[in-house]
C-alpha cells in the first residue's frame, strides 16, 4: 500500500514538474516570440503610468498576447520601475521583450501627433503630422508657410490636443542669421534668442522641444551639438588634409554643403577643394560670392554677375570681396552656412581623387574633371543641355 501511494505521489510530482516546465516554455515563447500586432502602431506611455497599467493597455490594444507574462518579464529583467513617458512606434510583430526596450530606454518620442517647424534654405514650413501604422510612418495633415499663408483652422484645432508634441527641424546649409530669425517667429517657443552664434556653429537636424521652451536654450543645444561634431571630425581627420584648425575645417565643410545636395558627391567635392588648396589654386566657388554679398541674410535675389566674380561691385566696399574665392587665395575668413555632419566628415576625410574641377551636369549632380580641357568639355555639354531645355 505504501509503495502504491509513493508511486502515485511520484507520478503526481512528475506531472506537476512537467506542467511547470511546459508553462515556463510557453511563457518564454510568449515573451520572446513575435507578438500579435498586425501593423506598426503608436503606443503612448502617459506620465505616472505603472507597469501593470501599461501591460493591461498593451493587451487591450492587441499589441501583446498576455499582460501577466509581460509583467513577469519586466520584473525578471528589472525594468518594472524604468518606464519612460512618451509616444513610441511599436513595429509589426514586436515581441514583449522588444516592447519593454522601447518603453523603458527613453529618448525622444517617435510617433503621435507633432507640430513641426521646418527651416529650409529657401523657405519655412509649419506642419501637423500624425503617425499612421498602415503607412508605416508619418502622414502630413496640415501644412502652410508662416508669414505667407493664412493659418488653417485645422492647425489651431490641432494645438488643442493634450498629447501633441513640437519639433524644430533645420536643414543643412541654412545660415545662422536665417535660422535665428526664423526661430523668432515660432509661437510655441519663448524668450529671446541671445547672442548670435558664429556662422556654421548651429547643427542642422531635428530637435524635439516642449511648448514654451526657451529659444536661447534650443540655440545652445544646436551650438553644443555642432561643436561636438566638429571636435570629433577634427580629431579623426586625415593626416594630409591641408587645414590648420577646426574653424578651417568648418569653413570648408560649409562650402561643400552649399555646392552639392547629392550625398554621394560630398567626398568628391571635398577632394576637388582639397586638391586645389594643395596646389595653391583658388577655390573659385560661387556660394562664397553670394555669402559675401548677403552676409547670410536670405538669398541673393538675382543671378551672379560678371562684376560679382571680378570683385568690382559696390558690395565689395563693405568687405564682400574677402569671401570671393575667385579673388582671394585659400579659404574665405569663415563659414558661409551651417553644414551637416556628412559635409563635416567629408571635409575631414575627402575621397582619394585627382579631380580639380566640377560643373553641374543638368541632373542635379556634377561632372568632375582632372584637367581644364576636360572641364571645358563638361561646361560646353552643360550649356548645350541648358540651351536645349
- How many Å is the Cα radius of gyration of the chain? 29
pLDDT tens digits along 216-263: 999 999 999 999 999 999 999 999 999 999 999 999 999 999 999 899
Cα(89)–Cα(43) distance, rounded to whole angstroms?
6
Can you tell me the mean pLDDT for 329-352? 96
Can you tell me the mean pLDDT for 104-125? 85
Measured in degrees and rounded to the nearest 5, phi and psi for residue 139 equal -120, 130
Cα(212)–Cα(210) distance, rounded to whole angstroms?
6
pLDDT tens digits along 277-328: 999 999 999 999 999 999 899 899 899 999 889 887 666 655 678 899 999 9
Can you tell me the mean pLDDT for 40-66? 88
Q: Give DSSP secondary structure letters for 181-235.
A: HHHTT-TTEES---SPPPTT-S--EEEEE-TTEEHHHHHHHHHHHHHHHHHHHHH
Cα(80)–Cα(73) distance, rounded to whole angstroms?
9
List C-alpha distances in Å: 117 to 108, 120, 209, 257, 379: 17, 10, 11, 22, 39
The whole-number pLDDT of residue 258 equals: 96
Grid cell, residue 298, equals 536670405
Asked if residues 35 and 93 have their Cβ atoms less than 8 Å apart, the reply is: yes
List C-alpha distances in Å: 103 to 81, 106, 115, 248, 383: 11, 6, 22, 42, 56
Cα(123)–Cα(121) distance, rounded to whole angstroms?
6
The whole-number pLDDT of residue 190 equals: 94
Segment among 74-83, 127-136, 184-193, 282-291 with least mean pLDDT:
127-136
Cα(152)–Cα(142) distance, rounded to whole angstroms?
8
Q: Which CATH superfamily is domain 31-111 in?
A: Endolytic murein transglycosylase (3.30.1490.480)
The whole-number pLDDT of residue 77 equals: 85
The whole-number pLDDT of residue 11 equals: 62
Can you tell me the mean pLDDT for 52-59? 90
pLDDT level of residue 3 (50, 70, 90 thresholds)? low
Helices (H) and strands (E) in the chain, counts: 13, 11
Mean of per-residue pLDDT scores for the chain: 87
Can you tell me the mean pLDDT for 358-384? 88
| Sequence-distant (≥ 6) Cβ neighbours of residue 87 within 8 angstroms | 42, 43, 44, 45, 109, 110, 111, 112, 131, 163, 165
> What does DSSP assign to residue 80?
T
Q: Considering only CA atoms, which of 358, 350, 352, 351 is closest in space to residue 374?
A: 358
pLDDT at 21 over 80: no
The whole-number pLDDT of residue 16 equals: 57
Q: What is the pTM of this model?
A: 0.79
Asked if residues 216 and 270 have their Cβ atoms less than 8 Å apart, the reply is: no
pLDDT level of residue 14 (50, 70, 90 thresholds)? low
Cell 508511486 -> residue: 7
List C-alpha distances in Å: 275 to 56, 197, 312, 347, 356: 63, 31, 28, 12, 6
The whole-number pLDDT of residue 85 equals: 84
Per-domain boundaries in the chain: 31-111, 113-230, 238-388
Amino acid at each position: 500500500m505504501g509503495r502504491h501511494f509513493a508511486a502515485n505521489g511520484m507520478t503526481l510530482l512528475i506531472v506537476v514538474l512537467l506542467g511547470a516546465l511546459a508553462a515556463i516554455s510557453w511563457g518564454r515563447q510568449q515573451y520572446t516570440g513575435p507578438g500579435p500586432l498586425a501593423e506598426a502602431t503608436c503606443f503612448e506611455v502617459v506620465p505616472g503610468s505603472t507597469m501593470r497599467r501599461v501591460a493591461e493597455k498593451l493587451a487591450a490594444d492587441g499589441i501583446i498576447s498576455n499582460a501577466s507574462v509581460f509583467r513577469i518579464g519586466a520584473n525578471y529583467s528589472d525594468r518594472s520601475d524604468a518606464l519612460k513617458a512618451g509616444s513610441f512606434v511599436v513595429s509589426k510583430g514586436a515581441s514583449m521583450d522588444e516592447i519593454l526596450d522601447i518603453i523603458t530606454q527613453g529618448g525622444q518620442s517617435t510617433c503621435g501627433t507633432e507640430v513641426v517647424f521646418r527651416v529650409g534654405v529657401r523657405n519655412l514650413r509649419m506642419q501637423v503630422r500624425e503617425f499612421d501604422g498602415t503607412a508605416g510612418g508619418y502622414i502630413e495633415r496640415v501644412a502652410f508657410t508662416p508669414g505667407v499663408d493664412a493659418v488653417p483652422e485645422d492647425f489651431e484645432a490641432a494645438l488643442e490636443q493634450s498629447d501633441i508634441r513640437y519639433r524644430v527641424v533645420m536643414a543643412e546649409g541654412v545660415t545662422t542669421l536665417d535660422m535665428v530669425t526664423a526661430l523668432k517667429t515660432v509661437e510655441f517657443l519663448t524668450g529671446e534668442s541671445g547672442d548670435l552664434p558664429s556662422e556654421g556653429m548651429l547643427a542642422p537636424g531635428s530637435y524635439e522641444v516642449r511648448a514654451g521652451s526657451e529659444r536661447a536654450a534650443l540655440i545652445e543645444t544646436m551650438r553644443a551639438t555642432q561643436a561636438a561634431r566638429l571636435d570629433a571630425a577634427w580629431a579623426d581627420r586625415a593626416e594630409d588634409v591641408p587645414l590648420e584648425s577646426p574653424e578651417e575645417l568648418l569653413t570648408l565643410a560649409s562650402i561643400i554643403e552649399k555646392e552639392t545636395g547629392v550625398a554621394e558627391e560630398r567626398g568628391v567635392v571635398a577632394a576637388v577643394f582639397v586638391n586645389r588648396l594643395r596646389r595653391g589654386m583658388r577655390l573659385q566657388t560661387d556660394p562664397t560670392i553670394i555669402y559675401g554679398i548677403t552676409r547670410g541674410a536670405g538669398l541673393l535675389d538675382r543671378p551672379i554677375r560678371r562684376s560679382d566674380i571680378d570683385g568690382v561691385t559696390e558690395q565689395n566696399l563693405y568687405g564682400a570681396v574677402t569671401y570671393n574665392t575667385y579673388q582671394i587665395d585659400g579659404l574665405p575668413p569663415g563659414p558661409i552656412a551651417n553644414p551637416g555632419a556628412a559635409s563635416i566628415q567629408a571635409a575631414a576625410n575627402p575621397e582619394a581623387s585627382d579631380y580639380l574641377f566640377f560643373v553641374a551636369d543638368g541632373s542635379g549632380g556634377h561632372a568632375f574633371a582632372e584637367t581644364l580641357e576636360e572641364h571645358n568639355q563638361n561646361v560646353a555639354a552643360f550649356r548645350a543641355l541648358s540651351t536645349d531645355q
